A and B are shown apart, each in its own frame.
Chain A
Amino acid sequence: MINLWAYLGISFILFICGIMVMIARKNIIALLLGVELILNAAALNFAAYTKFSNGNLDGHIMSLFIIIIAAAESAVGLGIVIRFFQLRESIHIDDASTLQN
């Protein structure tokens, strides 16, 4: 039978994959991919808890807003990346470590 643990396990794997991507990659866009994975893990957790608990839909609302915020975040984040690329011609994360142009 598929229970809460299955979903938690999948979300766990997603989260770990996200962390792995965020640490292992040096490409800023790839980092944003990792962020998306992590956010999805969180959203999945909310939906799973909703299903396996009292069943009011607050968890779904949370997931919905996580998705919305993730979309806004990736829009702004990628905008920053593109601007950064125009300035520095690089999307290497370590090139973004200085405070000045």
Chain B
Amino acid sequence: MDYTITTVAPIVLLPFFAFVINVFLAKRVPIAAVALSTLAIFGSFIYALRIFLDFQNVYAVGYHIHKVFTWFDLSAGEHLFKVNMGIYIDNMTATMLLMVTAVATLIHVFSTWYMHDDERFARFFVYMSLFTSAMLGLVLSDNLLSVFIFWELMGFCSYSLIGFYYEKEGAGNASMKAFMTTRVGDVFFLMGILIIWIIVGNTTFVDIYAAIGAGKFGGVFTSFGIGLPIATIAALCIFAGTMGKSAQFPIHVWLPDAMFGPTPCSALIHAATMVAAGVYLSLRMYPLMEAGHILTFIAYIGAITAFGAATIALIQTDIKAVLAYSTISQLGYMVIGIGVGSYNASFMHLITHAVFKACLFLSAGSVIHSIHCQEMPQMGGLRKKLPYTFFAMLLCCFAIAGVPFFSGFVSKDRILGDALLMAMENKAFIPVALLGFGGALLTAFYMFRMLFLTFFGEPRDHHIYDHAHEEHIGWNSNIPLLILSVFTLGLFYSGSFTGQGEVNLFGSKYEWFQTLIHKPEASHLEHFAHYEKEDFGTTDTRDKVELPKAAYDANHGLSEEAAHHVHFVHKIGAILSIFIAFAGIFLAYSMYITKKLDPNWWATTFSGWRKALQNKYYFDDLYIGKIIQKGLLPFNNLLAKFDSGIYDRYVVDGTAVLNRWAYNISRWFDNNVVDSGMVDGTGASVRLMNVVLRTIQSGKVQLYIIVLVVVLASYVLTLRF
């Protein structure tokens, strides 16, 4: 295949033109607009598939296509100011393109069914087309600047789609929240781009790699006497962009609220693609992260996110909320993967997660569409009504829980295995590994809790159950789910059991992930300086046959002994993971299925449980009933006896005298020091802060200008360039 603009550009341009046309078409001929959007993304999929198969079959490792054109050139004399744009395709891009287009196509098809009764049916597709083209543009970009442009475009689409049902009170607020929260990360991202621009002279990935290899990032940025390596600052800034987009720990709050959007958009944007774009960016900038020595930081952020989000997911009753927190948690795993240097597995988890999480969201959408309700306590027993959805969701739950032979197992457990490896080498990573495995347990538990609550047991709300639509097989209702669910099988991604080659089930032929995706090693970065860039209009002329074929290397370039050690640790990790996954599933099973088998036992052991069921409220009441009433109350009575019998009689009365003395002293202290000093002082200082903060948020434009100028000044004047 010859790579010219005509074979690559349609991937982005088809959805984009669909968007442009649909802007005008949407109101007049909604059906045509929908068809156009769907067909356009399908066309993109065909193009992406061609590229992917090409890279899979014909080309070798390290093969890449890089075409650039000059956007504008304002060079004055020797002072270069030239901005290039271009496309960069390597194995990772090809894989990503295929994933995005495939998932987007299926979601578009699903949306034609799901959104059909919506009054803004066509407008939804307008946004989706724009979003898809922006995402594909981001993936194809060869530099950070255009990544940033598409990044912001996606942010806008996300904003529009979260607020799609703007009649709802919460939707507008949620969209605002999402937009504002991600903005925090984006500002840092932009600053990072500027730093890189200053140092490298442009923002092309290849040039950045080469610059890192040449040690250009070795400088130290000194300001006010504090020195920080430039690489660290740049890496932190870029990673902040990832944190915003991929909803990592401190700024993850927007993603759960983003579930106000229609479910297909949640599936596409807030599960499969846009949130993964943050991770994709970090993967692209991995050499910078490495050079900046912030991998430990990244790993910790990921671990906290993965575990924390999983704990929150335990008590959610909204089916989409569970999925939202699970998304945050899984993104945390990808970030852990970056942090522990598990480049390949992190990217693989990105792909596998995109597939199964999209499927999960679509299944949830199918459930919601069927019963018009999102609360799991009102579901139950839907297995009979929605057999295909159940099947798809079951496979996906297996995948996300990490059951062997499913994709989630392959990818997540490689991340966990690498985390374990790192923990054994470096004590600092022990909490990361612990949190990772703990999160895996919780993941298995809450996913199956969701599955059991939704599909198993007796219908808890008969009104809803009886009015639920019977599911029939339909090309745009459940076929997309089933297609996606098939791809949750691990064999599509890896031929091996754990993906480490030691238990090779299908032969190394299927190890394409290991074969094709390679971490840009620090020692090889200089090679990127020799990567040739072609002019945009030219056809690729190199002889493909002579390029060396990629070969699978089970040892990853390590020596035999080292590889053995690695495999050994991974094997431990895999066994641990399997155990943990089944433990989580069993826990969920015993909680939600066993209850059905033995309701008396359930009722007598947990007396608050039935009440909780009646209130349709699960874990909070359960914990109150069990821990407080069964555990704390008897203990309380005992303490009361002790209190009145012994403590009051002897100790209290005896100390009363002393107390009176102390009382006098403390009253003086209280009045003079605490009240007038500390309490009033706190109030006064709060008021003072209030004055300061109010000035910042005054809405006075001119103050904003002044602050802008001063901040710009402090940025520019302290910078050395």
* A joins B in a complex: yes
Q: Does A101 contact B (CB under 8 A)?
A: no
B:696-721 near A, CB below 8 Å: 698-702, 705-706, 709
- Given A23, A58, A97, which contacts B74 in the complex, CB threshold below 8 Å? A58
A:43-62 near B, CB below 8 Å: 46, 49, 52-54, 56, 58-59, 62
Cβ contacts under 8 Å, A59 to chain B: 74
Q: Does B543 contact A (CB under 8 A)?
A: no
Alpha-carbon distance A52/B76, docked complex (angstroms): 7
Alpha-carbon distance A22/B701, docked complex (angstroms): 9
Q: Are A23 and B76 in contact (CB under 8 A)?
A: no
Alpha-carbon distance A96/B702, docked complex (angstroms): 11
Q: Does B650 contact A (CB under 8 A)?
A: no
Q: Does B614 contact A (CB under 8 A)?
A: no
Alpha-carbon distance A99/B176, docked complex (angstroms): 15
Q: Does B73 contact A (CB under 8 A)?
A: yes
Q: Are A49 and B699 in contact (CB under 8 A)?
A: no
B:481-514 near A, CB below 8 Å: none
12 sampled A-B residue pairs with Cβ under 8 A: A19-B709, A26-B702, A31-B702, A49-B74, A52-B76, A58-B73, A58-B74, A59-B74, A93-B700, A93-B702, A98-B699, A99-B699
Q: Does B72 contact A (CB under 8 A)?
A: yes
Cβ contacts under 8 Å, B706 to chain A: 23
- Given A22, A26, A54, A97, which contacts B698 in the complex, CB threshold below 8 Å? A97
Interface of A is mostly: helix
Q: Are A31 and B701 in contact (CB under 8 A)?
A: yes
Cβ contacts under 8 Å, B77 to chain A: 53
Closest chain B residue to A23, Cβ basis: B702
Q: Does B6 contact A (CB under 8 A)?
A: no
Q: Are A53 and B701 in contact (CB under 8 A)?
A: no
Given contacts A23-B702, A52-B76, A53-B76, 12 further A-B contacts (CB under 8 A): A19-B705, A22-B702, A31-B702, A49-B74, A53-B74, A53-B75, A62-B74, A94-B700, A96-B701, A97-B700, A98-B699, A99-B699
Q: Are B699 and A96 in contact (CB under 8 A)?
A: yes
Task: Return B207 CB to nearest CB of chain A, in Å.
Answer: 22
Alpha-carbon distance A31/B77, docked complex (angstroms): 36
Task: Return B716 CB to nearest CB of chain A, in Å.
Answer: 14
Cβ contacts under 8 Å, A54 to chain B: 75-76
Closest chain B residue to A34, Cβ basis: B705
Most buried by A among B76, B700, B706: B76
**Chain A residues with a Cβ closer than 8 Å to the other chain, count:** 20
Q: Are B705 and A23 in contact (CB under 8 A)?
A: yes
Alpha-carbon distance A93/B702, docked complex (angstroms): 8
Cβ contacts under 8 Å, B701 to chain A: 31, 93, 96-97
Q: What is A's interface to B at a CB cutoff of 8 Å?
A: 19, 22-23, 26, 31, 46, 49, 52-54, 56, 58-59, 62, 93-94, 96-99
Cβ contacts under 8 Å, A97 to chain B: 698-701
Q: Are A49 and B76 in contact (CB under 8 A)?
A: yes
B:59-118 near A, CB below 8 Å: 72-77
Alpha-carbon distance A56/B702, docked complex (angstroms): 38
Q: Are B76 and A22 in contact (CB under 8 A)?
A: no
Cβ contacts under 8 Å, A96 to chain B: 699, 701
Task: Return A87 CB to nearest CB of chain B, in Å.
Answer: 15
Task: Return B274 CB to nearest CB of chain A, in Å.
Answer: 29
Q: Are A56 and B705 in contact (CB under 8 A)?
A: no
Alpha-carbon distance A71/B700, docked complex (angstroms): 24
Task: Return B311 CB to nearest CB of chain A, in Å.
Answer: 36
Task: Return B176 CB to nearest CB of chain A, in Å.
Answer: 12
Task: Return A22 CB to nearest CB of chain B, in Å.
Answer: 6
Task: Return A65 CB to nearest CB of chain B, in Å.
Answer: 11
Cβ contacts under 8 Å, B74 to chain A: 46, 49, 53, 58-59, 62
Cβ contacts under 8 Å, A46 to chain B: 74
Alpha-carbon distance A23/B709, docked complex (angstroms): 11
- 7 tightest CB-CB pairs across the interface, nearest first? A97-B699, A53-B76, A97-B700, A23-B702, A49-B76, A97-B698, A94-B700
Cβ contacts under 8 Å, A26 to chain B: 702
Q: Are A56 and B73 in contact (CB under 8 A)?
A: yes
Alpha-carbon distance A77/B701, docked complex (angstroms): 14
Cβ contacts under 8 Å, B72 to chain A: 58, 62
Cβ contacts under 8 Å, A52 to chain B: 76
Task: Return B693 CB to nearest CB of chain A, in Å.
Answer: 15
Alpha-carbon distance A60/B74, docked complex (angstroms): 11
Task: Return B7 CB to nearest CB of chain A, in Å.
Answer: 29
Alpha-carbon distance A97/B75, docked complex (angstroms): 42
Alpha-carbon distance A23/B701, docked complex (angstroms): 9
Task: Return B333 CB to nearest CB of chain A, in Å.
Answer: 40
Alpha-carbon distance A26/B703, docked complex (angstroms): 11
Q: Are B699 and A22 in contact (CB under 8 A)?
A: no
Alpha-carbon distance A31/B75, docked complex (angstroms): 33
Closest chain A residue to B76, Cβ basis: A53
Alpha-carbon distance A77/B170, docked complex (angstroms): 31
Closest chain A residue to B700, Cβ basis: A97
Cβ contacts under 8 Å, A22 to chain B: 702, 705
Q: Could you give, for residues 431-459 of chain B, a 1 whenever the CB lies within 8 Å of some chain A CB and a 0 otherwise?
A: 00000000000000000000000000000
Alpha-carbon distance A88/B699, docked complex (angstroms): 16
Closest chain A residue to B79, Cβ basis: A53
Alpha-carbon distance A31/B702, docked complex (angstroms): 9
Alpha-carbon distance A9/B43, docked complex (angstroms): 54
Cβ contacts under 8 Å, A99 to chain B: 699
Alpha-carbon distance A22/B74, docked complex (angstroms): 29
Closest chain B residue to A56, Cβ basis: B73
Alpha-carbon distance A20/B632, docked complex (angstroms): 68
Task: Return B683 CB to nearest CB of chain A, in Å.
Answer: 26
Task: Return A81 CB to nearest CB of chain B, in Å.
Answer: 12
Cβ contacts under 8 Å, A98 to chain B: 699
Task: Return B80 CB to nearest CB of chain A, in Å.
Answer: 11
Cβ contacts under 8 Å, B698 to chain A: 97
Most buried by A among B75, B698, B702, B706: B702
Alpha-carbon distance A99/B74, docked complex (angstroms): 41
Alpha-carbon distance A49/B79, docked complex (angstroms): 11
Alpha-carbon distance A95/B75, docked complex (angstroms): 44
Alpha-carbon distance A52/B79, docked complex (angstroms): 12
Task: Return B684 CB to nearest CB of chain A, in Å.
Answer: 26
Task: Return B644 CB to nearest CB of chain A, in Å.
Answer: 58
